[in-house]
Amino acid sequence: MTPAKAYAAASATSPLASLTIPRRDVTDRDVEIEILFCGICHSDLHQVRNEWADAMPTVYPIVPGHEIVGRVTRVGSGVKTHKAGDLVGVGCLVDSDRTCDACTAGLEQFCPNQTLTFGSPDKHLGGVTFGGYSEKLVVDEHFVLRIPETLDPAGAAPLLCAGITTYSPMRHWGVTERKKVGVIGLGGLGHMGVKFADAFGAHVVVFTTSPDKRDDALRLGADEVVVSRNANEMQQHAGSFDFILDTVSARHDVNAYLILLRLDGALTLVGAPPKPLEVSAFSLIMGRRRLAGSNIGGIAETQEMLHFCGEHGIAADVEVIAIQSVNDAYERLLKSDVKYRFSIDMASLKSEQPRDTVQAHVRVG
Ligand code: NAP
Ligand code: ZN
């Protein structure tokens, strides 16, 4: 076990601050990674503030971060797929049981025994796993992705969550040329959804509550922009969409979008507002519409998405920040004021001298 500098929250109301955490010794299947950049996902904020207490209560201290890009510093003796010096990524998953139906189908994101990058029971050290707001990480090779060297690492980091979370449902629900596709919310996930839908050849409409994002939406690949608080603009699209991706992080009226779907159209939630959404039966039964959900993506599909991004030069539009600005960044995220993902430059962690240390718990298993 080795110590690593990190940023953590001690409670739902504490700011993130520096802390020393343990990282396990490299086993024969492990890859040790020096973290270069970590994106800030709205899920980090939901969990730091225990907003998902009903579904997955937060264990403190929490070290968030699951949009990780770094360089391999060391590999275990049995590791075949990565070597020291490689540019790699880690997303939301660091382990799964590899035997269930989901795992054998390459859908580790639905494994009932998965280990999330932060906040899951840590099978090696006890306690819970700690995420990417940290200087290094040790991960089983199966969950380490290759990052195309042509991509800017700061902009590539958000692909590990925002990228795959939007790519996967669009592939699953057949977003292709000539399909009319809506993306609700132009934040971290939303702006990646626009880039992918555009790259797949769809006619892309962005729904936003922020009229000042109109020009950016068009630049990112949208064909049309609708200010969702304008009922007239919304009405013009009634019954016309094949697919709508909903990335909104807060309470909103999903019925206003369901009625924009055409016959057999689908609206997929990837946004995870803490409180339940109300659905009118009439929004669904008129038009045999479908309301669905999607959770990140499997490891093979994440690698496929990264290759696609390398080929098409797709990465997130990022505001690179120092770790010391993370609490301000969270406040801006709450105001929908990010263009369009914060990516933390982990070199900024080097100047920190954490006063507190988390001890490893008793090793289990
Ligand atoms: P984000 O960057 O904060 O973007 C969310 C966007 O939603 C905002 O930029 C804003 O866009 C819109 N929005 C915010 N509040 C709104 C409101 N009250 N009404 C209507 N629109 C509102 O967040 P993110 O990182 O993209 O994450 C979005 C959600 O996805 C979060 O709930 C996160 O936890 C979840 N998530 C899910 C998965 C998964 O696997 N399913 C993976 C990652 C994240 P406009 O300014 O354009 O309106
Ligand atoms: Zn995320």
Binding site membership of 113 for ligand 1 (Cβ less than 6 Å): no
The predicted structure's pLDDT at residue 359: 78
Binding site membership of 252 for ligand 1 (Cβ less than 6 Å): yes
How far apart CA 64 and CA 234 sit, in angstroms, is 36
Binding site membership of 323 for ligand 1 (Cβ less than 6 Å): no
Number of H helices, E strands in the chain: 11, 17
Binding site membership of 208 for ligand 1 (Cβ less than 6 Å): yes
How far apart CA 311 and CA 246 sit, in angstroms, is 26
Among 246, 248, 216, smallest CA distance to 334 is for: 248
The predicted structure's pLDDT at residue 204: 98
Residues 6+ apart with CB under 8 A from 202: 175, 176, 177, 178, 179, 180, 181
Binding site membership of 48 for ligand 1 (Cβ less than 6 Å): no
The predicted structure's pLDDT at residue 361: 62
The predicted structure's pLDDT at residue 10: 97
Nearest CA to ligand 1 atom 38: 270
Give the DSSP H or E segment for 155: helix 153-156
Nearest CA to ligand 1 atom 46: 210
Atom of ligand 1 nearest to the CA of 45: 34
- Locate 250 and state its tokens: 């807060």
Pocket residue to mutate for ligand 1, from 42, 230, 330, most atoms within 8 A of Cβ: 42
Q: What is the pTM of this model?
A: 0.97
Span from the CA of 362 to the centroid of ligand 1 (angstroms): 38
Query: pLDDT digit string (tens) for 95-147?
Result: 999 999 999 999 999 999 999 999 999 999 999 999 999 999 999 999 999 99
Nearest CA to ligand 1 atom 10: 185
Atom of ligand 1 nearest to the CA of 252: 19
Atom of ligand 1 nearest to the CA of 294: 41
For residue 207, CA distances in Å to 75, 147, 233, 257, 265 come to 45, 31, 10, 9, 17
Q: Which ligand is nearest to the CA of 273?
A: 1
Atom of ligand 1 nearest to the CA of 109: 40
Q: What are phi and psi of 272, to 5 degrees?
A: -130, 70
pLDDT per residue of the chain (365 residues) written in tens, 0 to 9: 999 999 999 999 999 999 999 999 999 999 999 999 999 999 999 999 999 999 999 999 999 999 999 999 999 999 999 999 999 999 999 999 999 999 999 999 999 999 999 999 999 999 999 999 999 999 999 999 999 999 999 999 999 999 999 999 999 999 999 999 999 999 999 999 999 999 999 999 999 999 999 999 999 999 999 999 999 999 999 999 999 999 999 999 999 999 999 999 999 999 999 999 999 999 999 999 999 999 999 999 999 999 999 999 999 999 999 999 999 999 999 999 999 999 999 999 999 998 889 977 644 43
Pocket residue to mutate for ligand 1, from 336, 339, 344, most atoms within 8 A of Cβ: 336
Pocket residue to mutate for ligand 1, from 168, 194, 249, most atoms within 8 A of Cβ: 249
